[in-house]
Amino acid sequence: MFKIDAILHPTDFSEESHHAFEYAYDLAEQWGAELHLLHVAPSLGDDPVRGAFDASLDEEEFYRTIRDEVDQKMQSLIDTVEQSDVPVHRIHSRGIAPADVISEYAEHEGMDIVVMGTEGRRGVSRLLLGSVTAEVVRKAPCAVLTVQEDANIPSDVKRVLTPVDLSEFSRPLLRAAREVTATFNASMDVLTVVEPLPFPVPLVGAVTLHDLMPDPIEQSRKQLDRLVQTTEGLPVSIETHVKEGHAAMMIIDTAGELDSDLILMASHGRTGLERIMLGSVTARVVRQATCPVCVLKVQPEEIEEPSESTSSGSDRKTSKAS
């Protein structure tokens, strides 16, 4: 059962991260969870460049000053939201690699989800630029939800998009996605993208995906329908979609076409760990999607091919190909 008791929100107090705080606070209120606000200060002693420039500073005095400033900023941040019974914990930490500090805190303190912005303060003191977010998505032991500056608040989540690649990660992702979708009392769109196959230059124009696999859209549609029908989980309204093109752009475009409020993705996929680490489909969707993206940690499961007679009547399902 999808249950969130503890939410971690890393902040650098930039305008870009402020909306992510509002989103995290609203989620905490909606789910009855506690909210942990984390600020990572630069670690002067571990940074040879800053350490050289700031050699004359009393490092402990420096951090005491920062702590006082951070406390004031955290209180100002809390004051911007309507007060409720949400328990808010304020955490001050330091480190030269913010993503590592965030991920380690999430693991040590048993956070259920990290909610953070996709961008942050510009310049040397930045915390939440896309590269840091991508690192947290990769390293955090829990789900990571990234929030764009103009994203809808959780109470507005009515339609969830879940892309699956029909790999061994698809069933556990779909199962988890049903639970998240039910939590929001929303409907879900499940998308699979048939990507063009790469060929050596001499073969271009001589062989196509359709030559090697007749009707790939139709075959993928049948696989997707069977996956949805045979994956147990909470009852939600589901529509299936199959498209052909490059995965990241198709996911982003489909989210726009369907007016999706949230995209749910797995931490791994068919292309393996190497591709998901940096510059992957997931990382590109996180950077470019116009709605929040939640990356769930799931374990692979072998997909069994059921007989054609296998069916389920618990969901409303419409298949679309384009």
- What digits encode the pLDDT tens for the residues 107-130? 999 999 999 988 654 433 444 445
- Identify the band that residue 206 occupies on the pLDDT scale cut at 50, 70 and 90: low
In the listed set 147, 177, 195, which residue is the last one of a domain according to the structure? Answer: 147
pLDDT in tens, 289-320: 989 999 998 887 765 554 444 444 444 454 45
Note whether residue 152 is domain-resident: no
Q: Are residues 309 and 226 in the same domain?
A: yes
Distances (CA, A) of 47 to 50, 106, 122, 214: 5, 23, 19, 57
Domain encompassing residue 314: 157-321
Provide mean pLDDT across the span 165-182: 91
Distances (CA, A) of 191 to 76, 162, 165, 238, 255: 41, 6, 8, 11, 10
pLDDT of amino acid 214: 62
Note whether residue 73 is domain-resident: yes
Q: Are residues 210 and 279 in the same domain?
A: yes
Q: Are residues 163 and 87 in the same domain?
A: no
Q: Are residues 121 and 162 in the same domain?
A: no
Are 297 and 197 in contact by the 8 Å Cβ rule? The answer is no
Q: How many domains does the chain have?
A: 2
Q: Are residues 130 and 227 in the same domain?
A: no
Q: Are residues 42 and 135 in the same domain?
A: yes
In the listed set 124, 147, 170, which residue is the last one of a domain according to the structure? Answer: 147
Note whether residue 1 is domain-resident: no
pLDDT of amino acid 107: 96
Note whether residue 171 is domain-resident: yes
What is residue 109's DSSP assignment? T
Distance (Å, rounded) from C-alpha 120 to C-alpha 146? 12
- Identify the band that residue 271 occupies on the pLDDT scale cut at 50, 70 and 90: very low
Which ranges of the chain would DSSP assign to H, the alpha helix? 15-31, 48-53, 59-79, 98-108, 130-139, 170-183, 209-212, 216-230, 247-257, 273-277, 281-288
Are 240 and 190 in contact by the 8 Å Cβ rule? The answer is yes
**For residue 269, is pLDDT > 80?**
no
Distance (Å, rounded) from C-alpha 237 to C-alpha 69? 48
Q: Are residues 242 and 178 in the same domain?
A: yes
Work out the mean pLDDT of the chain and round it to a whole number. Answer: 80
**For residue 82, is pLDDT > 50?**
yes
In the listed set 147, 179, 213, which residue is the last one of a domain according to the structure? Answer: 147
Q: What proportion of the chain, given as a percentage, has pLDDT over 90? A: 41
Q: Are residues 181 and 312 in the same domain?
A: yes
pLDDT of amino acid 48: 46
Q: Are residues 162 and 306 in the same domain?
A: yes
Note whether residue 12 is domain-resident: yes
Q: Are residues 139 and 163 in the same domain?
A: no
pLDDT of amino acid 298: 83
pLDDT of amino acid 176: 93
Provide mean pLDDT across the span 225-231: 92
- Identify the band that residue 69 occupies on the pLDDT scale cut at 50, 70 and 90: confident
pLDDT of amino acid 217: 84
Distances (CA, A) of 310 to 221, 236, 257, 272, 306: 15, 19, 31, 30, 6
Distance (Å, rounded) from C-alpha 228 to C-alpha 171? 8
Q: Are residues 117 and 175 in the same domain?
A: no
Q: Give the CATH number for residue 183.
A: 3.40.50.620
Q: Are residues 14 and 68 in the same domain?
A: yes
Provide mean pLDDT across the span 268-282: 51
Q: What proportion of the chain, given as a percentage, has pLDDT over 70? A: 75
